[in-house]
Structure 1
Amino acid sequence: MSRAYLPYGLLPFTAWVLTRAALLLWVSGVLTLGTLDVTVDVSVIYRGWYETLLTGTYPLDDVTWQYPPGAALAILSPALLPFLAYASAFYVLVLLCDALVLGLLLYAGRRPGIRVAGAWVWVVGVPLLGPTVYARYDLMVTAVAVAALLAGVRHPKVLGALAAFGALLKVWPTLVLVGVERGRRTRAAWSAAALTGAGLAVGFALWMPGAFAFLAFQRDRGTEIESLGALYFHLARHMGWEGRVELRYGSMEFLGPGVELVSALALGLAALALGWLLVWRLRARAFAAHTPAQAAFTAVLLFTTTSRVISPQYVVWLVGLAAVCLAFRGGGMVRPAVLVLVAAGVTVLEFPVYFAEVVASDAWGVALLFVRNGLLVAASLIAARRLWRETVPGAAAGVSAVPGDQPSRVLR
């Protein structure tokens, strides 16, 4: 049977089943990828938080708890499957969220102005990250952000409500609001986000004590060894730098001379990224159906790249947003999306396969970090340039939003 006569979505769904079966075999220990056990976060750390949360309080004495109060829902979610062990239930729920994203992208792909390419980005990009992507709750958060962007084309209030919910899971989904069209749609989305966020924040604060203790733990974080700024210290270690690597706040961080300065520079770069986004928002005029996805993708790229921490699971955020961008015809983010997919493949090499070499600042480990972080920097710059050229009047002659591609006319 030729491809033209295959049922819609059969090929991406088949590929999804095969790749996700491999991911489940990895996290279940049937298959191995390197010597590092990436499932410890679920079986030990998450399970420990689960037990604490069941007592009616957030993990106030655990500095590795660095998540907004809504993260408790993800940690407690395996209770929905009491017939399974905690870790197994968690993996099944992540699998269901993974399937939800695929379903949303395939469903959207049947609508005018949308295509199946976004589903393929998701199918391919997630397994490139290896078992880590199922052994963290970040895929669950990504599912919320994807749902927000796809629903927001027709229903800006739903986008706002989902963005607020996602922000209380892991902050970054707030950025899906940055590209909403000016005027009525912005007022609807942002007011829904404010009301939903305020209501949920109050609810979590009343639910259990310590809902916002994570803010102090985040403030005290240093420079994680996989971040952009960490590359300086990886090289400096070969030139007599007197610092060290230590497990702090749940990740491997550099400690020693110059670390505070580099951490401050990273915060400065993040502030510059925020400033650029504010300027873009003020000057942007040509909003199309794909603009919110483009803006969210660009914003998350910028803040991920400039972060003091670039954990491997962060890349799944970018894969999900890239998938939404490429779901739109004329979305214009093909090159940065491809760079993100390549970065995902390099990420699985630096963690978990060669993470020991990264920790030791060996040449191979440092090379992998240079490549991965370089790809993210390139993707950030290209995405920012493309977003600016498409939306800011006079930025580039002949480059504009797709004619007639208005939010109200897509996904009806």
Structure 2
Amino acid sequence: MLWLLAHDRLRVLGHGDVTREVSGLYGHWYGVLTHGAFPVHDPLWQYPPGAGPVLLSPALLPGLSYLQGFVALTLAADAVIALALTRAGTREGRTLLGAAFWICGLPLLLHVPLARYDVQVTALAVLSLLLSTRSTRACGAFAALGALVKVWPVLVLTGLPKGRAARSAWTGAAVTGTTVLALLVTLFDHPFAFLRGQGARGVQIESFGGTLLALARHAGWPGKVRYRYGALEYTGPYVSTVAHVSLALTAVALGLVLLWRARARRWGEATPYDAALAAVLLFTVTSRVISPQYLIWLLGLAAVCLTSRHTTQRPVAALLLAATAVTAVVYPVLYDEVTAATWTGCALMVVRNGLLAAAAVLSCTRVWRSTVTPPLPRASRGAQALTPAAPAGAHGLLH
């Protein structure tokens, strides 16, 4: 991954220049943040106030350029995740499959993870989930820190058992979140500037809605692609409608999570992990924006699931590995094809988003069945076990 990062402009990598975001955009924001303010007038600033300390963190490594320091800290976060998963996997009744999944799965995204700060955010979410069996207060604290950096880690709390465990985690999250947010408000001006641009975001070309609009271009739709709010988005007729539908589907996803919380009756060892992955998958597939780095989140959560021998998410993890591999082809390798909405680009997006949709449906179905659907009565299971197998010659008659 480091070698690819150093040779980012190779033709086989699509001339992606993925380091431009760190060297240019992050570096620019670093300069603004060092003066004690968030980028209030920058429409590209889309992140909660907790992102500020993350973007300032390369200053902790003197003697390195901003890009070098950022990559070094990203690798450190990657190592923290790998070590945490390894330690969890060596406990009694656990497995090292989660650590292996993370270590082998992340490089499928090529060098993109080293040039985005999503590995750091994923580390907070992974630590939060792994701590849920030891200290629910610490679980909530890490989830709150992650939410202050990029919102989605708060979803890892959705799968905690009802009662004291959930109350303790949410209390820890509230106390930590309030304390850190108050500190950031004290140290920086305009901490909530990011809220101004959220409602105006459109439909990114890699989202489900973007795939629909890409296919519509082949049917004569006159929309164009523009760089807005830090991503390539579609502009033109019906784009706002697609964006509003995406927001409505996100609201439906929230309703499904709440419905599951209300109906769930059985919690196993892996339920908090499985439910967290299902929730983040739901919010990912309904989003107006599905950037390549979103797969980092899903890989990290799937890895946590795989540390448990009782997880229901093994086939989901396999689908996510496939989606991750296709995502690397989408960006940076053939991103020009996706941007131009060629048939090749459309096919790639249909396959990638199809895999994500299948993973989301399968994940939610398996979590629902394992926690809500009543188990088969013992008598029925015994009757099924005692039913004699049909003779080989009768197989055709049965069909």
TM-score (norm 1): 0.89
Cα shift at 1:31:
8.0
Distance in structure 1 (CA, Å) of the matches to 2:345 and 2:113: 20
> SS of the counterpart of 1:312?
coil
Distance in structure 1 (CA, Å) of the matches to 2:214 and 2:85: 40
Matches within 5 A, 1:99-114: 99-114=79-94
Counterpart of 2:188?
Answer: 208
Counterpart of 1:29?
Answer: 7
> SS of the counterpart of 2:208?
coil
After the TM superposition, which of the residue ranges 160-169 and 107-116 deviates more from structure 2? 107-116
What is the letter of the counterpart of residue 24 of structure 1?
L
Distance in structure 2 (CA, Å) of the matches to 1:59 and 1:113: 48
Distance in structure 1 (CA, Å) of the matches to 2:87 and 2:377: 32
Say yes or no: does 1:367 pair with 2:339. Answer: no
Matches within 5 A, 1:272-291: 272-291=252-271
Counterpart of 1:167?
Answer: 147
Counterpart of 2:201?
Answer: 221
Distance in structure 1 (CA, Å) of the matches to 2:342 and 2:133: 47
Say yes or no: does 1:351 pair with 2:306. Answer: no
Distance in structure 2 (CA, Å) of the matches to 1:388 and 1:397: 14
For the 8 Å contact 1:25–1:31, the answer to whether it is kept is no
Distance in structure 1 (CA, Å) of the matches to 2:238 and 2:14: 32
Distance in structure 2 (CA, Å) of the matches to 1:388 and 1:57: 45
> SS of the counterpart of 2:111?
helix
Matches within 5 A, 1:231-246: 231-246=211-226
> SS of the counterpart of 2:218?
helix
> SS of the counterpart of 1:241?
coil
Distance in structure 2 (CA, Å) of the matches to 1:50 and 1:370: 37
For the 8 Å contact 2:9–2:17, the answer to whether it is kept is no
Distance in structure 2 (CA, Å) of the matches to 1:193 and 1:44: 33
Counterpart of 1:118?
Answer: 98
Distance in structure 2 (CA, Å) of the matches to 1:393 and 1:332: 14
Say yes or no: does 1:255 pair with 2:273. Answer: no
Unpaired runs of at least 5, structure 1: 1-22, 400-412
> SS of the counterpart of 1:75?
helix
What is the letter of the counterpart of residue 40 of structure 1?
R
Cα deviation, 1:154-204, whole Å, max 9, x if unaligned, reads 111100000000000100000010011111101110111111111222221
What is the letter of the counterpart of residue 2 of structure 2?
L
Which residue of the other structure, out of 324, 333, 344, is the alignment partner of 2:313? Answer: 333
What is the letter of the counterpart of residue 397 of structure 1?
L
Matches within 5 A, 1:304-319: 304-319=284-299
Say yes or no: does 1:342 pair with 2:327. Answer: no
Distance in structure 1 (CA, Å) of the matches to 2:295 and 2:376: 33
Cα deviation, 1:5-31, whole Å, max 9, x if unaligned, reads xxxxxxxxxxxxxxxxxx111122378
Cα shift at 1:250:
0.7
For the 8 Å contact 2:8–2:15, the answer to whether it is kept is no
Matches within 5 A, 1:373-384: 373-384=353-364
> SS of the counterpart of 2:159?
coil
Distance in structure 2 (CA, Å) of the matches to 1:82 and 1:66: 28
TM-score (norm 2): 0.92
Matches within 5 A, 1:291-310: 291-310=271-290
Cα shift at 1:397:
2.6
Distance in structure 2 (CA, Å) of the matches to 1:397 and 1:351: 45
Distance in structure 2 (CA, Å) of the matches to 1:276 and 1:151: 25
Say yes or no: does 1:46 pair with 2:26. Answer: yes
Cα shift at 1:113:
2.2
Q: Percent identity?
A: 48
Cα deviation, 1:209-257, whole Å, max 9, x if unaligned, reads 1111111111110000000011121111112212111000010000110
Cα shift at 1:352:
0.4
Which residue of the other structure, out of 347, 372, 376, is the alignment partner of 1:397? Answer: 376
Counterpart of 1:188?
Answer: 168
Misfit runs of 4+, over 4 Å: none
Counterpart of 2:386?
Answer: none
- Going from structure 1 to structure 2, the CA distance change for 1:398 and 1:347 (only over 3 Å counts) comes to farther
Distance in structure 1 (CA, Å) of the matches to 2:8 and 2:140: 41
- Over alpha carbons, which structure has the higher Rg? 2
Which residue of the other structure, out of 91, 109, 112, is the alignment partner of 2:71? Answer: 91
What is the letter of the counterpart of residue 105 of structure 2?
G
Counterpart of 1:135?
Answer: 115
CA RMSD of aligned residues (A): 1.3
> SS of the counterpart of 1:239?
coil
Which residue of the other structure, out of 155, 159, 174, is the alignment partner of 2:135? Answer: 155
Cα deviation, 1:11-56, whole Å, max 9, x if unaligned, reads xxxxxxxxxxxx1111223784221111100011000000110111
Which residue of the other structure, out of 35, 48, 69, is the alignment partner of 1:68? Answer: 48
Distance in structure 2 (CA, Å) of the matches to 1:284 and 1:335: 22
For the 8 Å contact 1:286–1:393, the answer to whether it is kept is no
For the 8 Å contact 2:48–2:151, the answer to whether it is kept is yes
Distance in structure 1 (CA, Å) of the matches to 2:22 and 2:248: 33
Cα shift at 1:82:
1.2
Cα deviation, 1:264-317, whole Å, max 9, x if unaligned, reads 110111111111110100111111221111111000000001100000000000
Counterpart of 1:3?
Answer: none
Counterpart of 2:394?
Answer: none
What is the letter of the counterpart of residue 365 of structure 1?
G
Distance in structure 2 (CA, Å) of the matches to 1:279 and 1:397: 22
For the 8 Å contact 2:8–2:17, the answer to whether it is kept is no
What is the letter of the counterpart of residue 7 of structure 2?
G
